[in-house]
Amino acid sequence: MSDFLTGLAFFLIIEGLVYALAPRFLVDMARLLPAIPEQQLRLFGLGAIAMGVAIVWLIRG
């Protein structure tokens, strides 16, 4: 449970940094998001999951 909470904390830190340091970029990306095809978003999400799992596997292995 400690690892999960640590991961959640890092996620919140990174999210907060985006809002604090680049709010204009975030707003612009939100405007562009509806123009990106759903399949491309899904593929990007799966790629991000795979990278995250690989990083955890490398750190823990």
- Overall pTM surpassing 0.75 (yes/no): no
The answer to whether 18 and 26 are in contact (CB under 8 A) is yes
Which CA distances in Å does 61 have to 30, 33, 51, 58? 37, 36, 15, 5
Provide the angle, in degrees to the nearest 10, between the axes of the packed helices 23-32 and 2-21: 100
What percentage of the chain carries pLDDT values higher than 90? 82
Looking at residue 1, its pLDDT comes to 86
